[in-house]
Amino acid sequence: MTIDAITTIEECRKVLTSEIKTFPDWPEKGVNFKDVQSILFNPELASITSHYLKELLPKNKKNEYEFNKILCFDARGFLFGFDLAKIANAPMILARKPGKLPGELITQTFQKEYGTDEIQVQEGLIKPGDKVLIHDDLLATGGTAGAAAEIILKCGAQIAGFNFIMDLTFLPGRKELQKYVPNHKIKALLEF
């Protein structure tokens, strides 16, 4: 199927599944890393991916977005998260590793599939009453997205849902995120 022939989300999923490369034993032995580089290298495929990620954004019955801010992760979450923020006309919040953001920060430690990590968000960007959508490229163990959820809750805001390019369904990420939202608010363009 050519990229020009993609007219449905299912056709998009088939093309993406065939295009996304897997790197065995990276970043450590036993991890099969799914890489979005092949999507980014093809501008048409990137555009189509962005279009169908938009279709997964939570909306109400009036077709209005059910979030007013979107939090995206360093670095691959930024790539499509910025497109989603523009589409929804919502502010984008950067979640980054320690030492990457200036000012007063909110920090959350979490477990990843291959170690402990931390994310930080600048204070004051998430306010009580906000409804924040969390976007990243990949759902694996749910550690990174769960850490973002904890930051949102610390700020007195609500978690509007989760949005991913890929969900590694053989890992417990989806179950982990169901602590924060019902399953139908966890969306992924692809499942592996």
- For residue 111, pLDDT over 90 is answered with no
Note the pLDDT tens digit of each residue in 126-183.
999 999 999 999 999 999 999 999 999 999 999 999 999 999 999 999 999 999 999 9
Predicted local distance difference test score (pLDDT) of residue 2 = 66
Walk me through the domains of the chain, giving residue ranges and CATH numbers.
Answer: 3-191 (3.40.50.2020)
> Quick one: pLDDT band at residue 1, thresholds 50, 70, 90?
low
Note the pLDDT tens digit of each residue in 28-51.
888 889 999 999 999 999 999 999
Phi, psi dihedral angles at 129 (to 5 degrees): 90, -15
Cβ proximity of 73 and 110 under 8 Å = no
Dihedral in degrees, nearest 10, Cα atoms 180, 184, 190, 192: 70
The CA distance from 2 to 44, in Å, is: 10
> Quick one: pLDDT band at residue 112, thresholds 50, 70, 90?
confident
Q: Tell me if the pTM is above 0.85.
A: yes
